[in-house]
Structure 1
Amino acid sequence: MILEKTIPLGINLKNSEPYRVMLADNSRLERLLLRKFLLHEKFKIVAETEGGQETVDVFQKLTMKPDILCLDFEFPDKNGVKVIEEIRRTHPHLVIIMVTKNTHRVLIQKISELRINAFLVKPVSRLQILEKLSYILG
């Protein structure tokens, strides 16, 4: 009998290290759910933030930058589009997944211009996030 060992989605096959993820959402519950989904697949959560400007500041200070940024659109101080614009200036290849309740056509058009990798509408299920990540990470 041959036993196959499944490699978790969160492990980068190129270097056998976990993908690093930053979670940015002003809802503690949403961050908790995403963290739970991702940790189960062996992703490494390197930072969590709850504000737009805080996300930019923490991202810039991290010595080991995340491979993936999961962020909401709605923050009290700076919206997700502004956050993406600032981070894209220095990290154009960062994988960005926007997870939001906002589905306005103007927002969807704007974020498509910013080259985000995925757009998910809340509430997000474990299966939805893992399917998107599986597609993005190959």
Structure 2
Amino acid sequence: MQAGMSPTGRPYNIIIAENSKFQAKQLQQILESEGFKILGVAETGKELIKLYKEFKQQVDLITMEIFLPEVDGYAAFWEIKEMGILPRIMFISEENTPTVVKSLVENGAMDYMIKPIKREKVLEKIKEVIIKIPKI
């Protein structure tokens, strides 16, 4: 069975928040090749929040860059967190300041991966995050 399919046979739904069109496309291709369904790609934090509100009931995972324009990933994370139950969020970012990473993970982010994006590593981490039970 493909990594992107739930035990019920439904594809896992993902929102990608990435400021680089190239890296967003790369991540989308990796995930779609494994059967994940991409609900949308946000280039800014504002777009991410809008997409999340639109698909809140369907989202299984959000992959997020910290360095998003308009509203950065850190602020978007907190805004989404304030909307109620936090979805699974995995950061894939160039930001590697230990205090930032620690703060996000302690406050509900499921995982944090430092770029560059490597297919095997991304899939391995996302598989782990999808089966983890989110902290409430």
Distance 1:61 1:135, change over 3 A: closer
1:128 is aligned, of 121, 131, 135, to 121
Partner of residue 58, structure 1: 51
Partner of residue 60, structure 2: 67
| Deviation (angstroms), 1:63 | 6.4
TM-score by length of 2: 0.89
Aligned length in residues? 131
Partner of residue 78, structure 1: 71
| Deviation (angstroms), 1:64 | 4.9
Q: Which moved more, 1:55-64 or 1:35-44?
A: 55-64
RMSD: 1.5
Q: How does 1:16-95 map to 2 (within 5 A)?
A: 16-62=9-55, 64-95=57-88
CA contact (8 A) 2:66 2:73 kept: yes
Q: Which runs of 5 or more residues in structure 1 are unaligned? A: 1-6
TM-score by length of 1: 0.87
Measure the CA separation in 2 of the matches of 1:93 and 1:86.
10
Structure whose CA Rg is larger: 1
Q: Which runs of 5 or more residues in structure 2 are unaligned? A: 132-136
Please tell me the residue identity of whatever aligns with 1:106: T
Please tell me the residue identity of whatever aligns with 2:2: P
Partner of residue 12, structure 1: 6
Distance 1:68 1:91, change over 3 A: farther
Distance 1:63 1:130, change over 3 A: closer
Q: Identical aligned pairs, as a percentage? A: 21
Runs of 4+ aligned structure 1 residues displaced above 3 Å come to none
